[in-house]
Chains A and B, each alone.
Chain A
Amino acid sequence: MNKILLALLLAIQTLSLWAQPKITVAVAANMQYTIQELITEYNKTDKTKIEVVLGASGKLTQQIQNGAPFDIFISADKEFPQKLAENKLTLEAPKVYAQGLLVLWSARPNIQPTKDLKLLLGSNIKNIAIANPKTAPYGHAAEAILKKYGLYDKVSPKLVTGESISQTSQFIVTQNADIGFTAKSIVISKETQGKGKWVELNAQDYPPIEQSAALLKHAKQNNEAAAKKFYTFLYSAKAKTIYNKFGYIVK
């Protein structure tokens, strides 16, 4: 019996040794469609298997602080990776890869989103979806723009909070929320084509969503070279073309 078990263990061990290199990337939810395209492009030249864990940037930060086995963190802001750097969980200083834009989106047939946010006060809008401002940078930006126009207190009874920008977008697409704030990269992806109408909000009205990424300490125990290579790719010209395509601003 023990021999069989040993043989089995050995077999599993050998199999995992034969497997191609693998890295795990923690990705902010607004990048959910973009990351797929980045990986497809990357795998054209490098077959490293890249596993994606999606979530709100704040949640992922919390998980990394508690020892989650991620090699790279692709955040939706600058602050969360910075926090990890301060806690010495990154291998080098985080860098900005793209700037995200906030949009107002509705899938209800009778609601037309406008740049003028006063429409949110209308009685035809019963609830407004935003991402959790504490953990999702796009939620934070949405809160900032509402506050800037003095609308926050008036609309706050209507606010429903998604735990990440993906849940927020799901509330909007299923029309459970009449309207909501989400990332431009989500509304212009193939997956959401033809689902409702959206409008881009003035980028000067909220603090810039400077999305940065960080190479994490865990990569050292895993496959540092592979992780580092994909991390570098995130700042390459090819990657920038993809960010552009998904509506991000790239410098």
Chain B
Amino acid sequence: MIELAPLWLTLKLALSTTLILFIIAVPLANWLTGDKGVFKVVVQTIVSMPLVLPPTVIGFYLLLAFSPANWFGHWLEQWFNIRLVFSFSGLLIASVIYSFPFMVHPIQSGLSSLSPSLKEASYSLGKTKWQTLSKVLLPNIKPSLLTGIVLTFAHTVGEFGVVLMIGGNVPNKTRTASIAIYDEVDALHYHSANIYAGILLALSFAILLLLYSFNRKMQQARFY
């Protein structure tokens, strides 16, 4: 029998990751857009790392970090009585790290494609940095914002390797749809695997179709 819990869990994880990353990524991308100092280049590199790292590298380090045998995990357990491994919060932290560049990059490239005169005009009219960002810059890069949101969401839905390493396949906590598929295939339950896979396939198609249609409309609006 097919359960809906893994799908809801995936949705919850993807939405939470997207929300958290949006809040972090907008100011970070804005800061990264300015002149490049050495420090900024280093930060930029760190932000992009998850693009090239195998998920197993992130999974391995998180597994070590979360373990109560090591100082970080021990400290969390001693002071807050929480253990991140095999938990939804642990998965959320992993997803935020893993999807970081997928949110930051589109927003950053959107911001840097804007003409500097936009910012300068806003400043000379007496707007603060924050007002300029939220009222002038961001409304002008809606397609980039949407791309960041959609890619982050979709990338989290497709996350597998990290979840396999630190998840522990716990129903309602870490058994996401991609893990459920893996599990059902191993158990020779091809029927259930087919249903999960079909739903994910349709979902990915719909998300990307929506994104491209919207961005196309925005571009047309800009030219006419």
Contact = CB atoms under 8 A, between A and B. Distances in A.
B168 A160 contact: yes
Kindly state the interface size class of chain A when it binds its partner.
Answer: 20 to 34
Interface string A150-163: 00000000011111
Contact of A126 (B64, B69, B83, B186): B83
A162 B174 CA distance: 12
A138 interface: no
B23 interface: no
Interface in A42-94: 56, 58-59, 61-62, 65
Most chain A Cβ neighbours within 10 Å, of B64, B66, B183, B185: B183
Given A174-B67, A175-B68, A176-B86, A135 B169 contact: no
B68 A58 contact: no
A170 to B, nearest CB: 8
A92 to B, nearest CB: 23
B183 A132 contact: yes
A135 B156 CA distance: 27
A240 interface: no
Interface string B134-165: 00000000000000000000000000000010
Interface string B52-92: 00000000000110111100010000000001011000000
18 contacts: A62-B188, A107-B69, A108-B68, A132-B169, A132-B187, A134-B183, A134-B186, A160-B86, A160-B170, A163-B169, A163-B182, A174-B64, A175-B67, A175-B68, A176-B68, A176-B83, A176-B85, A177-B168
Interface of B: 63-64, 66-69, 73, 83, 85-86, 164, 168-170, 182-183, 185-188
